[in-house]
Chains A and B, each alone.
Chain A
Amino acid sequence: MSSNSITINGNELTFEPGETILEVARRHSIDIPTLCHLKNTTPTGSCRICVVEVKGARSLLASCATPASGNMVVLTESAKVVDARKQIIQLLLSSGNHNCAVRGGSSDNWTQFQLNVQKDDQSQELCPVWGDCRLQDLAYRYQVNGDAFAPTPTRYAIETVNPFIVRDFSRCIQCGRCVQACNEIQVNNAINFGYRGPESKIVAAGDRPLKDSECVFCGECVQVCPVGALVEKDVRYQVRPWETAPVKTTCSYCGVGCQLYLHVKDNRVVKVTGVDAPPNNGSLCVKGRFGFNFIHSEDRLTTPLIKENGAFRSASWDEALNLVANKLGEIKAAHGPDSIGVLTSARVTNEDNYVANKFTRAVLRTNNIDHCARL
């Protein structure tokens, strides 16, 4: 063995200096579950789901925060590791309103529990992220439920006063991914841990609602939340993940060109998430994540319109296009091509713009074409 090799589950692997056990394992397709770990941010080791057994170490070590070192021998799914993970998941499940199938419990227990949650939630539904929850996935994987410990009461009420984002502290598992996302990825520095011990809570601006803080509603925290603590306001209880299909496209606002998924349900865009690829690597801004109601606005133009006596009336495509072609033809004939101008658009596609350029030059026979780059 050499000084840059590590043995994970019996496989001898090489590592780069500074790599964590988790990074080496993932690079070699060895799955270690994580909750609090967030790519490109400082590991916090706070959830301890990623613990592994390292030969010679006195306790289990958080693989996300432990650098690989020479001749280390690691087990990622030993009985000790699995027991520890089970207990962590059981504790997390008992710590809030995790009302899905993995909550477990006898029917009496469940009924009372669900009634309590319904009161907090003001809804009769199961958890809003049912089916899209990292904690739920882990509970299935390790076959545990929330019965092992007595449920803890809800300490902080749901925050629904913000636009765009609902904060449900009862479902927060304090993994801190939102804090990392806000402070180390978006660097908006709007939220952090507040209070201590059992009182601990993610707070903004000295424990005020997001809308009264430095928060700019980029929604990075919602995207990284592994549970149902941070959910898009319009999506909550309206959309379940299995009802939607994502379509990858490019944002239509500023020139950054963020890659995003439009999540489509019944021919409507119901939710937007960032794609983990350049240029934005998963990040979006408030407009890119939440500003797409215009797509399905009642105010969209749906038919060609012709103005007559100062008022618009609907027209068929044929009528409208013939009118435009005839008028442009007449004006060109009477006053010359340079009496016509075209403003193409920084909003439409390259293909649309190329065709506008060709039309202006080859058909109208003028170079009077521009767009709002100057404005």
Chain B
Amino acid sequence: MTNTIADVEEADVILITGSNTTENHPVISTFVKRAVSFKGARLIVVDPRRVKIASFAHQYLRPNLGTDVAWINGMMHVIIQENLYDKKFVEDRTVGFDELKRVVEKYTPEYVEEITGIPAKSLKDAARMYAGAKSAAILYCMGITQHTTGTDNVKSLANLSMLCGNLGIPGGGVNPLRGQNNVQGACDMGGLPDVYSGYQKVIDAEARKKMETAWGVTGLPEKPGLKVTEMIPKAHSGELKALYIIGENPLVSDPDLNHAEKSIGNLDFLVVQDIFMTETAKTADVILPSKCFAEKDGTFSNTERRVQRVRKAVDPPGDIWDDWKITCEIATRMGFPMTYETSEAILQEIGQVTPSYAGITYDRIDSIGIHWPCPNEQHPGTPILHTEKFPIGKGVFFGIEFIPPAEKVDADYPLYLTTGRVIYQYHTGTMTMKTDGLNDRAPECFVEISPKDARQFDLANGSAVTVASRRGQIEAKIQISEKAVEGTVFIPFHFARAAANRLTNAALDPVSKIPEYKVCAVRLAKAA
């Protein structure tokens, strides 16, 4: 997030898109609901499902799946045409406005209505509401990113925010809501193929030199590595021979699972380090048991870049170790001794090689976490990014054209499928499914369908259906819901026994290599 969670309550207008906020980020949703209910904020929700937060919205726009660039361009078209944009911000802080203007020119509300299904008038109203705000915050989640055009979608939201001067101010910003406790930290710490900790690029000779000195090695590889969605095909083709998987369950969470299973089965050697015997662990050659968060000391970095303490509360069940200690032991046995006395010693090393974490110590975050960047121990941290300038100087507008999703409905597969989570389960369920009460509330997979579609396909509430895509099929129960909009069904991906990812499309965004979980074509049939 460019801004903080608390900052949401400062916004005059909040635009939420591709986020089922009340179910996936329930506590952040409370900030939104309070802002709207008690502080006079206006809320725009743009989502293909009529998710609960939409019931708090002043404007609810329902786009067809995978048409985000079109409606965002459409809003910018209206804002530019009606002269509602922030000219001073555009002039002082950005470049590329003319290109943007040229590209969005053709995205008239009427043209956008053809693509997205959003009525032209609603789009105009929403654009005016967003542009009319003193400060407007954008919140988004995987409904924006998990598309073949995910990168374009995010850039488009950044365009919109810059156009109205909403970056670098309280109550503004472009705010991705991170779905996992430390997904921010995993990125920050170099858990990515192209960067070391603090986003220092591996192709940058200076950064490599710095790490070589710090780690006492020479010749660190300069070629960016494979992204997870590239590793799986390489395993399939035999180029990738071994995988060391720490705390992940790709055999439920990956797209096109049937293909992923074959690929992982093709590896010469698979090591899985986890707290449970997950679907992925079952296929491993070696399983290394690790501590869970309640048994660890360390830090997580949350969605607002706040680095916070994790503290050991209980002893682990048996002789099991911290993840870092296991990794260090493997390193040492491979001839590269790695030892740390404590997790705190690791954070000290992180601070030495990572400018944005240099000022963060266990002492400083003992009672309250600090937002990075925090370059030194006197620095208070940075709750709001880009207040003076962008890291690259001026913000760049990108003129982006709409590209349709990779898969379209047709006579054979007449319905769109989109996937996501429910409030009572988490990701692949390895943790939540151990609590009976949560299973009581969300016991099994379901197919959420609109009343009209259910009638058309003659499907009764609670009846079993087979859902098939071009890649696989699963069986689940029909749940008729007002959340669903005609033509699109929703299936949660938590449940291994009816894994939605047997259906999903592994088509990737060309830049981020994120799969298009949010759009594919399916057909329904009454289960035999």
Contacts and interface: CB of A to CB of B under 8 A. Distances in A.
Interface of A: 163-164, 184-187, 211, 216-218, 233, 247-259, 262, 264, 267-269, 277-280, 283-288, 290-297, 299-307, 312, 315, 317, 320-329, 331, 335, 337-363, 365-375
Interface of A is mostly: mixed
B215 A358 contact: yes
Contact of A369 (B180, B193, B285, B343): B193
Nearest to A186: B30
Contacts of A217: 437, 441
A301 B287 contact: yes
Interface stretch (B93-101, B332-340, B392-400, B484-492): B332-340
11 contacts: A257-B303, A258-B27, A290-B435, A294-B292, A329-B334, A348-B186, A351-B346, A353-B186, A354-B350, A355-B340, A367-B194
Given A186-B30, A361-B220, 5 more contacts: A256-B177, A257-B306, A346-B247, A361-B215, A370-B231
Which 7 A-B pairs have CB atoms at the shortest separation, nearest pair first?
A: A257-B302, A255-B178, A349-B298, A367-B225, A163-B437, A345-B247, A302-B318
A352 B314 contact: no
B239 interface: yes
B438 A356 contact: no
A251 B28 CA distance: 14
Interface of B: 4-6, 22, 24-28, 30, 33-34, 37-38, 56, 177-194, 196-197, 202, 211, 215, 217, 219-221, 223-229, 231, 234-235, 239-248, 250, 253-255, 268-269, 271, 274-277, 281, 284-290, 292-296, 298-304, 306-315, 317-324, 326-331, 333-336, 338, 340, 343, 346-347, 349-350, 367-369, 423-424, 426, 430-432, 434-438, 440-441, 512-515, 517
Contacts of A370: 191-193, 225-228, 231
Nearest to B324: A355
A286 B196 CA distance: 35
Contacts of A280: 27
B243 A341 contact: yes
A180 B287 CA distance: 48
Contacts of B30: 185-187, 283
Contact of A300 (B220, B286, B317, B322): B317
Contact of A366 (B179, B221, B246, B333): B221
A347 B180 contact: yes
Contact of A337 (B221, B324, B335, B426): B221
A358 B183 CA distance: 18
A251 to B, nearest CB: 7
B193 A255 contact: no
B231 A249 contact: no
A306 B288 CA distance: 9
B358 to A, nearest CB: 14
B99 to A, nearest CB: 28
B242 A328 contact: yes
Contact of A374 (B326, B367, B513): B513
Contacts of A337: 221
Contacts of B310: 249-250, 349
Nearest to A337: B221
A1 to B, nearest CB: 34
A343 B215 contact: no
Given A255-B181, A324-B286, A269 B313 contact: yes
Contact of B186 (A279, A296, A371): A371
A360 B328 CA distance: 11
B314 A286 contact: no
A321 B273 CA distance: 11
Contacts, number: 472
Contact of B343 (A285, A299, A320, A349): A349
Contacts of B284: 307
Contacts of A302: 289, 317-320
A257 B310 CA distance: 10
B424 A287 contact: yes
Given A185-B34, A331-B242, A352 B303 contact: no
B308 A371 contact: no
A217 B423 CA distance: 10
B221 A257 contact: no
Given A321-B329, A369-B191, A375 B253 contact: yes
Contacts of A353: 182, 185-186, 189-191
Contacts of A345: 182, 186, 191, 246-248, 323
A339 B267 CA distance: 10
Contacts of B329: 317, 321
B28 A256 contact: yes
A279 B8 CA distance: 12
Contact of B254 (A299, A301, A375): A375
Nearest to A347: B247
Contact of B330 (A331, A359, A365): A359
B179 A187 contact: no
Contacts of B26: 216, 218, 285-286
A277 B368 contact: yes
B220 A294 contact: no
Contacts of A366: 221, 225
Question: Interface centre among B185, B224, B234, B255, by most A CB within 10 Å?
Answer: B185
Nearest to A288: B27
B255 to A, nearest CB: 8
A244 to B, nearest CB: 11
A216 to B, nearest CB: 6
A251 B179 CA distance: 12
A285 B27 contact: yes
B180 A255 contact: yes
B180 A372 contact: yes
Nearest to A294: B434
B183 A357 contact: no
A354 to B, nearest CB: 4
B327 A355 contact: yes
Nearest to A353: B189
A350 B301 contact: yes
A186 B243 CA distance: 43
B314 A338 contact: no
Nearest to B293: A252
Contacts of A293: 434-436
Given A346-B186, A369-B192, A331 B367 contact: no
